[in-house]
Each structure stands twice: as C-alpha cells, then as structure tokens.
C-alpha cells in the first residue's frame, strides 16, 4: 500500500505585529468559527488513512499504522458531532442528555459548544445546525488539502456497532504504538466515564520526546483562522477547555480503571460478538489477533495500562488559512479542578438540573453572529446573565 510524504511548512513565529480582534463576521458565522476549524499540520512520512464504509455509516481509519479517528455518519472537526432534531420540541420532563445523547454519550464538542453558549447548544439540538458559512467551508477545504497530502482512503464493509467500536479501539492501540516508537501520532480517539456520563473525543495531535527519561505525551490542538488576527479570550478559553477535556479522558484511560462492563451495557455492545473477516484482517494487519469484540477491548485495556499520563503543559496553535503561517502558539498548564468544575456545570444543563444559561454581559457580542438570534430572548434584552 502506498504512503505519501509531505514536507512540514515553516511558520512565522513572531506574532507581536498581528492585530487582535474579538471576532470577524465571516469567522464567527457559527460555533465552528468560534472554536476555529481544526486543521492538520503536514507531517513527513505520516501513515495513511482509510475510509471504512458501511451500509449507513462511514468510519475513518489509517492504514499501515492505522491510527485514525473513527467517526460514524460523517466527518467532523474532532469525531465530535452535535447532531440535531429538526423542528422537534423538547419535553419539559426529559433531559437533553436522554433525548439527544441516549446510548451514545456526550462528545467533547458537546461540552465546548455548551460552554460557548448553552442557549445556542439547545437551539442546535432542537432545530439542527444552520447553513455553513464561507469561513467554515474554507476551513474544510484547507483540511481536505492537508488530508490529501498524507491520507489514502479505501472502503471496508462492517456489519455492526461492535465492529465500528473495534476499529476505533484498534486505532487507539496502533496510534499510541506509533507515538511510542516514532514520537508523534494524530487523530487518536479517547473515551471515558466522566462524572457518571460517557464522553468521547479525538485528540488532534500527540507528541512524545524520544530521547528524554520522562516521556509524558504532549497534547496539541491546531486551529485555522480565515483572517490573520488573534483569537479572542473567549475563543482561547473554549480551546483550553477542549484540550483539558482530552487530557482528562486520556489520564482516565491510562489509569487502568476503564469500566468495561458499564461500557458494554451503556452502548449495548456484545463482548462475545464474533468479528467479520474484513475487520479481523484489518486488526491482523496491525499485528494483533482478535476473534471477538471482547478480545479487542482487552487489547485496548492492556495498552492503556502501559501508557503514562499526558504532560501537564498543553499546547494550542492558531494558523492563518491564507498562507498557513503561525498566528499564535502558547502553552498553558492543566488545571484538573477547573476542567472538572466546567464539566460538572455543563452536565447539570444536559441532565435538566438547570435551564440553559445565556452568555455573560461582556460576551454578548457573540449574539451578533448567532444564527438563532432572531428566536433567542437574549436579543430582546429579556435575559442577561
């Protein structure tokens, strides 16, 4: 199977001449612009990726070392989707979690979108995502360009949800194997039980020092911007929450406390399910042998036990779409109490223990770029946090 090679582009490290703006209309058309479109930096000799096609869904993975995200249905910026229920009214007695994330769990994007504006998250669930803006399309185009430099897609038929999960877990196993031997991997799926709720995500990039005694993985997220301006503090805060959620999930996985029984029960998975020949062949191509889904979960847990916690310093990068130059890059420390408090507050909203809140007074500028402003009481000054 072919492997494509790409050269890493140099970035302009000097950012002090770059003007700061709160947001641009093109860039903030909706929450994806606030979160910034995730891009993938070009890596030399990076492994290939396959697309796994099912009767009703698509799973993405990479071949050779097969470290890729597994996303059912459609590709999103972080495996994390914010699906909608068009035109349906939410029953007062039923929580958003039960109504929209029953037997699938929350994604990290669900958490970050809620942090941006809970009312907007509620509108997304009830009415669906609005039309994509030009800035969003440009970000997707750039992402596709970077994918083509390092990814080749093939189709593999799968037969069940157990097989889709088997591929996701296998991508984690092989992705972390590449991390340990090569010092870099990307698109690593993570999953964990957080405050009693299952949560999933995909880490954009992980690096590990190859020649140092302490080898804690460094989690990195790279985002693109349509204009050569720095993000607002609200955008940076949202991105910090995203990366901290990834570390929270990663550290939980490697602590050898993955609740397999709860995992099988919540997602309605049969550990005795016999994998199809195509899936077993894919697993075997990576040097493993698994007949059943339960055996794949055992491999996954064993690998988790061998991995160290992620580094306490997290790295966030912003890239200009125009020439792929570096606009901003900064490290920030992991704060477990801060991220736990945000997750707990978010879950109260999702569980129906409190109503959705509005943006704070100093962040009401977000409303100018919200597609749901016409139906939101906030725009009539009826509710202000």
Domain for residue 324, yes or no? yes
| Largest Cα–Cα separation, the chain | 61
Pairing of the two strands 313-320 and 326-333: antiparallel
Q: Which of 87-96, 172-181, 262-271 has the lowest mean pLDDT?
A: 87-96
Share of the chain above pLDDT 70, in %: 69
Residue 129 main-chain phi, psi, to 5 deg: -70, 140
Is residue 8 domain-resident?
A: no
* Residues whose CB is less than 8 angstroms from the CB of residue 223 and which lie 6 or more positions away in sequence, other chains included: 35, 36, 37, 38, 39, 231, 239, 316, 317, 318, 319
Average pLDDT over residues 70-81: 34
Token pair, residue 205, equals: 């990039």
pLDDT for 26 beyond 90: no
Distance from the Cα of residue 328 to its chain's centroid: 21
Q: d(Cα 73, Cα 349) in Å, to the nearest integer?
A: 26
* pLDDT one-digit tens code per residue, 197-249: 999 998 988 999 998 888 999 999 988 898 899 999 999 999 999 999 999 99
DSSP class of residue 20?
Answer: B
Buried/exposed 207-233: b ≥16 CB within 10 Å, e otherwise:
bbeeeeeebebbbbbbbbbbbbbbbbe
Range of the domain at 284: 31-82+95-357
Asked if residue 1 is part of any domain, the answer here is no
121-148 pLDDT tens trace:
999 999 998 777 777 776 666 655 654 5
In the numeric block, which tokens belong to residue 131? 């039309």
User: Please, is 354 exposed, middle or buried when counting C-beta atoms within 10 Å of its C-beta (0-12, 13-18, 19+)?
Assistant: exposed
In whole angstroms, give the CA distance from residue 351 to residue 384.
22
Size of the chain, expressed as the number of residues it contains: 385
pLDDT 10s digits, 263-318 = 999 999 999 999 999 999 989 988 889 999 999 999 999 999 999 999 999 999 99
pLDDT band at 119 (very low <50, low <70, confident <90, very high): very high
Token pair in block for residue 91: 């029953």
Residue 23: predicted pLDDT: 38
Please report the pLDDT score of residue 327 as a whole number. Answer: 95
Judge whether 249 lies within some domain.
yes
Q: Environment class of residue 92 by beta-carbon count within 10 Å: exposed (0-12), middle (13-18) or buried (19+)? A: exposed
Report the candidate in 266, 365, 244 with the shortest Cα–Cα distance to residue 311. 244
Integer Rg of the chain from CA:
20
Q: What Å distances lie between residue 195 and 103, 250, 278, 381, CA to CA?
A: 16, 15, 36, 34
SS3 assignment, position 269: coil
Residue in the block written with tokens 């030399």: 44
In terms of C-beta density within 10 A (0-12 exposed, 13-18 middle, 19 or more buried), how is residue 79 classed? buried
Number of compact structural domains in the chain = 1
What are the percentages of helix, strand and coil residues in the chain, rounded to 5? 40, 15, 45
pLDDT at 305: 94
Mean pLDDT computed over 76-102: 57
CA distances in angstroms from 61 to 89, 91, 107, listed in the order given:
36, 38, 19
On whether residue 326 sits in a domain, the answer given is yes
- Residue 180: inside a domain: yes
pLDDT at 145: 60
Any domain includes 105: yes
With 0.85 as the threshold, say if the pTM is over it: no
Looking at residue 198, what is its pLDDT? 98
Nearest to residue 353, comparing CAs of 80, 94, 73? 94
Q: Between 384 and 159, name the one with better pLDDT.
A: 159
Residue 41 neighbours by CB under 8 Å, 6+ apart:
8, 9, 146, 205, 222, 317, 319
Buried b (16+ CB within 10 A) or exposed e, 174-197: bbbbbbeebebbbbbbbbbbbeeb
Within 10 A of 199 (CB to CB), how many other CB atoms are there? Answer: 24
């Amino acid at each position: 199977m072919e492997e494509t090679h790409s050269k890493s582009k140099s970035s302009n490290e000097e950012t002090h001449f770059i003007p700061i703006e709160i947001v641009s209309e093109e860039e903030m058309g909706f929450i994806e612009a606030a979160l910034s479109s995730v891009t993938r930096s070009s890596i030399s000799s990076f492994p290939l990726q396959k697309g796994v096609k099912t009767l009703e869904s698509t799973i993405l993975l990479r071949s050779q070392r097969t470290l890729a995200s597994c996303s059912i249905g459609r590709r999103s910026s972080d495996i994390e989707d914010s699906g909608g229920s068009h035109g349906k009214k939410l029953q007062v007695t039923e929580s958003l979690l039960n109504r929209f994330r029953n037997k699938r769990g929350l994604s990290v994007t669900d958490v970050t979108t809620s942090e941006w504006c809970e009312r907007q998250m509620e509108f997304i669930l009830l009415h669906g995502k609005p039309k994509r803006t030009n800035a969003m399309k440009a970000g997707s185009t750039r992402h596709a360009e970077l994918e083509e430099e390092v990814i080749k897609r093939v189709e593999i038929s799968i037969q069940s949800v157990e097989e889709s999960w088997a591929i996701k877990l296998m991508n984690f196993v092989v992705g972390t194997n590449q991390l340990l031997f090569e010092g870099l991997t990307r698109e690593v799926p993570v999953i964990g039980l957080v405050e009693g709720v299952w949560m999933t995500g995909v880490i954009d990039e992980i690096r590990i020092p190859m020649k140092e005694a302490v080898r804690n993985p460094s989690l990195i997220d790279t985002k693109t911007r349509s204009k050569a301006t720095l993000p607002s503090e609200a955008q940076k805060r949202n991105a910090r929450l995203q990366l901290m959620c990834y570390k929270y999930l990663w550290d939980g996985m490697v602590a050898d406390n993955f609740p397999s029984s709860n995992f099988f029960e919540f997602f309605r998975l049969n550990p005795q399910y016999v994998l199809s020949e195509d899936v077993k062949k894919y697993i075997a191509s990576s040097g493993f042998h698994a007949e059943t889904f339960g055996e794949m979960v055992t491999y996954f847990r064993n690998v988790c036990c061998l991995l160290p916690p992620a580094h306490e310093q997290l790295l966030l990068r912003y890239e200009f779409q125009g020439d792929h130059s570096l606009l901003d890059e900064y490290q920030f420390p992991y704060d477990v109490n801060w991220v736990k408090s945000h997750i707990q507050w978010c879950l109260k909203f999702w569980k129906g223990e409190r109503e959705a809140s509005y943006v704070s007074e100093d962040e009401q500028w977000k409303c100018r770029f919200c597609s749901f402003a016409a139906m939101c009481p906030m725009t009539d000054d009826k509710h202000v946090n």
